[in-house]
Structure formats: structure tokens, C-alpha cells
Amino acid sequence: MRFYKYHGTGNDFIIFNAMESAPFLGPVEIEALCRRNTGIGADGVIFATGSPTGADAAMRIFNADGSEAEMCGNGIRCLAKYLYERKGVRKESMYIDTPAGTKSLELKTEGGRVIEVDVDMGLPDFTGADLPASEPGSRPGEISISLGGGEEIAAVCLSMGNPHCVTFVDDAAGAEVSRLGPLVEHHRLFPNRANVEFAQILDPGRMLLRVWERGVGETAACGTGACAAFAASLHSGKGESPMLITLRGGDLKIRIDPYGHICMAGPAVEVYAGELNPHWRG
């Protein structure tokens, strides 16, 4: 079984070709493959599938715990590079279907290689069904979340095709991501759990960001998380477009277009290709 290993700013994925058939690994197998000591190791698994809409491909993305996600910004950039370099989709403009809708991508290439991918991530949604209701008198998405024991955090909740909870901090490096992340991810206010962003504004055009990713834990980067944090910063009057967002795995460039869509540009890297041993399950 052939696989390809990619990363986008340190957020890493295993990509399989499922263009001619349905995805062929279940949640238990996906979780096993993503384990870093006994599997390939990754933040998630991507299946490149055929598109029912006429797009160049469709993406199904599964988290490291085997749960399926609606969208992944770093993952879709990696998939675009895979399609261009490995599957012969030699287009610098692509459309890829996701459970969060069809995404438009622009590929920057040099010498037949994809160097950077710009993705139209769509409109931020501050009132989605998988988000908590805003508090009376506050702006859409703005809420105070009680974590028990008298502890609360102020947050901006929104969807970028998947649920996010952004909290602004004075020191991203010192944020208690591993403690607060799972408390918010599994909070009763989020019926489908949540990705949690800890955002430090350096100036209106620069942000430091750490992300606790739903179903994975803290990751080196999160594309939808960067877009959500950017949108939350505009919504709260803390940021401006364009913005350079620095995550542990590298930088992403985020901007808003004239139609209000959030656009994200960043790298995608193929690390290696390999073949699963037929007896990998033991």
C-alpha cells in the first residue's frame, strides 16, 4: 500500500490515493498509523478521492485519533502539491472538494515543483450551529467560557468550516496550552469539540500563535486555526490585513479579499514516499 508523507509548516500528514475507490482504512487503523513510535507518525491522514462536482479532486481528512475533520488548511496545501507533482494534475489553479465546501487554490511553481499554495478558505462564520451562542449584549462569537473552579477565559468562537475557539494572550510561549486546550476542546458548549487557538498580537500585522488541535493535541501549525485567529483579530479590532502569523512550525501569510474571504498562503513539503508492510498491523 503506497503512501506519501507531507508537512505544511510542521503540520504533517500521510496521503493515500483513493481516486478509484472509497477510503480503505478505518479509525482504528488511522490512529495506529499516526502513532509516532509504532506507525508512520502524523497529525492526520488524507485520502485523495474523486470529485462528485467536477473539481480536480476531493479531500477526506482524518485526525490522529481517527475522527474525521471537515477541513484542514495545511493538509489541503499538501494535497495540492501531491496532485500536481505525483498525480499529473499540472494546473496552477485547482479546485478541491472538502466536507466544508469546494476550495479554490493557486499554486506557485518553480522548475516543476510546487513552492507555495494560496487557498481561498472562505468566509468566517461566527454563528455556526457547532458554536456556543453569543452572550447577550456582546458581538457575535464573543463569549466567556467557564472552566470550573472559578476559572474563565474570554474567547472568540467561529467556524472556518470546522469549529474554533480563539483566546488572546499576552505571552503565547507561556500559554498553558496542554492544560487549557483539552478543557476547551471537550467543553459542553462545543457539540463537535473545538480547535483552540492561543493568539498573541505583536502588532496589527503580526501574530504569534499556538494551537491545540481537535483530535490531535498541540500541533506545530494549523491552517484553519491561523485563519480563525486572523478573523478573530479583525473581528475584535486587534489586527489588520495582511497578517504574518508565526507558529511553531513556521509562518503563514493570511489576508482578507474584497469579498470578505480569508485567504492563506504557505508552503507544502513532500518528506518521503513509502510502502506499508503487509504485516504492519501485527
Domains of the chain and any CATH numbers: 2-122+267-275 (3.10.310.10), 142-258 (3.10.310.10)
User: What pLDDT does residue 20 have?
Assistant: 83
pLDDT tens-place string over residues 76-103: 999 999 999 999 999 999 999 999 999 9
Q: How far is CA 30 from CA 19, 212, 272, 277, in A?
A: 18, 20, 18, 15
Residue type at 24 in one-letter notation: F
Which residue type sits at 143?
I
Number of C-beta neighbours around residue 217 at 10 A: 17
Please, what is the Cα angle at 72 between 244 and 94, to 5 degrees?
Answer: 85
| Residue 70 burial class via C-beta count within 10 angstroms: exposed 0-12, middle 13-18, buried 19 and up | middle
- What is the structure's pLDDT at 138? 81
pLDDT reported for residue 1? 84
CA end-to-end span of the chain: 15
Q: Which residues are catalytic?
A: 72, 222
Give the amino acid at 34.
C
Which of 191, 209, 185, 188 is closest to 128 using CA atoms?
191
Neighbours of 165 (CB within 10 A): 30
User: Do 43 and 61 meet the contact criterion of CB atoms below 8 Å apart?
Assistant: no
Q: Which residue has the cell 470546522?
A: 162
Query: Residues 33, 45: contact at Cβ < 8 Å?
Result: yes
C-beta neighbour count of 175 within 10 angstroms:
21
pTM more than 0.85: yes
pLDDT score for 38: 92
Question: Where on the phi/psi map is residue 178: left (φ > 0), alpha (ψ -120 to 50), or beta?
Answer: alpha
The helix (H) or strand (E) run that includes residue 233 is helix 223-235
CB atoms within 10 A of CB 93: 9
What pLDDT digit, counting tens, does each position of 51-77 carry? 999 999 999 999 999 999 999 999 999
pLDDT of residue 279: 86
Which residues make Cβ contacts (< 8 Å) with residue 161, sequence separation at least 6?
70, 71, 98, 99, 100, 101, 121, 122, 224
* pLDDT tens, the chain, 282 aa long: 899 999 999 999 999 999 987 777 999 999 999 999 999 999 999 999 999 999 999 999 999 999 999 999 999 999 999 999 999 999 999 999 999 999 999 999 999 999 999 999 999 999 998 999 887 778 899 999 999 889 999 999 999 999 999 999 999 999 999 999 999 999 999 999 999 999 999 999 999 999 999 999 999 999 999 999 999 999 999 999 999 999 999 999 999 999 999 999 999 999 999 999 988 876
> For the chain, how big is the Rg over CA atoms in Å?
18
How distant, in Å, are the alpha carbons of 79, 165, 199, 248 from that of 6? 9, 26, 26, 17
Q: Which of 15, 45, 29 is nearest to 216 (CA)?
A: 45
